[in-house]
Amino acid sequence: MSDFLSAVVESWPLFFEAAGRTLALSAVALLLGLPLGALVAAASMSRVRPLRWFATAYIGLVRGTPLITQIFILYFGLTIVLLLPGFWAASIALAFHNSAYIAEILRSGFQSVPVGLDEASRSLGMSWWQTLRRVRGPLAFRTALPSLGNQFIIAVKDSSLAAFVTVDELFQVALRATASSYEPLTYYIIVALYYLAIVLILTLVVNRLEHALSKHRRS
Amino acid sequence: MSAIVSMQQVTKRFGPLTVLDAVDLEVQQGEVVVLIGPSGAGKSTLLRCVNGLEGIDGGTITVDGQQLVQKGRELNSLRRRIGMVFQQFNLFPHLRVIDNITMAQRDVLGRSREEAEARARELLARVGLSEKEHAYPERLSGGQQQRVAIARALAMDPVLMLFDEPTSALDPELVGEVLQVMRDLAEEGMTMVVVTHEMRFARQVADRVVLMADGGIAEQGTPEQVLEHPTSERGRAFLAELGGQG
């Protein structure tokens, strides 16, 4: 046990820095993935049929192929046209990958808003945009938030695949520490604890937000 | 008297079904028109056509001197002059009562927060719900929610109020408080079109009762004429079915 603790303490600087990179990967993935997912969700609910086709194809394609494949296509596959650094190949692939799931989450959020509320808003003279901003958007977001939080957690853990395109994130550091120490159990448990800590903090933030946005369901 | 609503040859189809068949109807300023008739007669559809919630397939609708178009800014500007009250209340669940009433005042009419809130409080007092200002809709009874919905519509200073079965979703003991608010509104001279099954309300408050059947107007006249001495076969059949419920 004391060996384990000293390994934790000694590896701290390396893992700490790597945790920052894991967070950066996840942040880029979500900051790009959210708006992209919103666009795809909008396309999937559009009245324009080709847009709906596009959304269906996009979601099918992105969800239907492994994330590691998508990362490798961006990192190794595009070298003839474009040399992406590992960080960007991984984070952009993560963004695409998550956008497909986020699109489905947002679509079901919007579909959960009763038509009557849209009608009530439009009957007050509110425009389509005003209704989206004031009524449909906020209500859809409230419904989608738990699933979005779930997806964010998956994104953080999936960012570990960036290790395979040379990014010095948490899992990469664990791989290297294992290779040099021949103590896989120690370092894989340590890295698991780092992921766990990040996910717990993220869960806390999402729960807080959920609580703040559900005032209307409490007295 | 001038017409607030003028419908000419209005036709509405849902697929192969003709829901409104060349309907003509005028509503004068200050008039309270109650639409009755069997379900499926087209009452609610007719009401929803008046503020463009349903598009029409033929004919014209003019409200407050402006012809109704099917979409766009002109439709929005006309809608804010037409108050609509729904069977299911449709209050915005994520907003407190006061914000339900101020949102469109601020976004659509450009009123300041102070102005909008002052108007909202005035209306809440009028429907007897001043103390519920900060409550969320979920905490209110159905009757209270419907009164807030009426206040929300009135806050836009409409020239016309449409009521689509406003008491049909309410427990019987809560119907009275909503009808009372509507009665007060009628007495103040508001132009109203009401779809309802409340025959007593029709008898006491309506200036004119319009009996619809099969997507058309079977007959219309004063409450006494239509409810006591119907001349059309459809009218007699409908009222016989009600069996003196009113």
State the pLDDT confidence band at A12, using cuts at 50, 70 and 90: confident
The answer to whether residue A52 neighbours chain B at the CB level (below 8 Å) is no
Our CA-based measurement puts residue B244 at a distance from the nearest CA of chain A, in whole angstroms, of: 33
Residues 6+ away with beta carbon under 8 Å from B125: none
Instruction: Indicate if the pLDDT at residue A217 is higher than 80.
Output: no
State the pLDDT at residue A7: 84
State the pLDDT confidence band at B39, using cuts at 50, 70 and 90: confident
Q: Is B63 helix (H, G, I), strand (E, B) or coil?
A: strand
Pick from A9-13, A106-110, B48-52, B120-124: least confident: A9-13
State the Cα–Cα distance between residues A28 and A162, nearest whole angstrom. 13
* Region A191-212 average pLDDT: 94
Our CA-based measurement puts residue A51 at a distance from the nearest CA of chain B, in whole angstroms, of: 22
Which among A117, A123, A128 is the top mutation candidate for probing chain B, defined by the most B β-carbons within 10 Å of its own β-carbon? A123
Comparing A6 with A191, which gets the higher pLDDT? A191
The answer to whether residue B153 neighbours chain A at the CB level (below 8 Å) is yes
Torsion of CA B71, B73, B79, B80, to 10 degrees: 160
ipTM of the complex: 0.93
- pTM over 0.90? The answer is no
Domains of chain A: 1-215 (1.10.3720.10)
* Region B114-123 average pLDDT: 97
Residue B200 domain flag: yes
Which among A117, A124, A145 is the top mutation candidate for probing chain B, defined by the most B β-carbons within 10 Å of its own β-carbon? A124
State the pLDDT at residue B246: 44
Comparing A215 with B124, which gets the higher pLDDT? B124
> What CATH number has the domain bearing residue B232?
3.40.50.300
Residue B60 domain flag: no
Which among B74, B94, B99 is the top mutation candidate for probing chain A, defined by the most A β-carbons within 10 Å of its own β-carbon? B94
pLDDT in tens, B13-36: 999 999 999 999 999 999 999 999
* Region B27-49 average pLDDT: 94
Q: Which of B93, B94, B139 sits opposite A219 (nearest CB)?
A: B139
Neighbours of B30 (CB within 10 A): 15
Search chain B and give the residue with CA nearest A138. B94
The answer to whether the CB of A88 falls within 8 A of the CB of A32 is no
Q: Based on the structure, what is the number of domains in chain B?
A: 1
Q: Which helix (H) or strand (E) holds B189?
A: none
Search chain A and give the residue with CA nearest B80. A125
State the Cα–Cα distance between residues A71 and A31, nearest whole angstrom. 18
The answer to whether the CB of A102 falls within 8 A of the CB of A38 is yes
Residue B197 domain flag: yes
Residues of chain A with pLDDT > 70: what percent?
Answer: 99
CB < 8 Å to B53, chain A:
119, 122-123
State the pLDDT at residue A218: 63
Q: Which domain holds residue B19?
A: 3-43+69-91+158-244
Q: Which of A116, A135, A217 sits opposite B138 (nearest CB)?
A: A217
Q: Is B149 helix (H, G, I), strand (E, B) or coil?
A: helix
The answer to whether the CB of B10 falls within 8 A of the CB of B22 is yes
Mean pLDDT of chain B: 93
DSSP B165-187: STTTTS-HHHHHHHHHHHHHHHH
Asked if A117's CB is within 8 angstroms of B92's CB, the reply is: yes
Residue B153 domain flag: no
State the pLDDT at residue B85: 97
Residue B192 domain flag: yes
b/e map B31-65, b = 16+ CB within 10 Å: bbbbbbbbeebbbbbbbbbbbbbbebeebebbbbe
* Region A172-189 average pLDDT: 90
The answer to whether the CB of B45 falls within 8 A of the CB of B52 is no
Instruction: Indicate if the pLDDT at residue A26 is higher than 90.
Output: yes
pLDDT in tens, B184-199: 999 999 999 999 999 9
Instruction: Indicate if the pLDDT at residue B71 is higher than 90.
Output: no
State the pLDDT at residue A42: 95
State the pLDDT at residue A141: 94
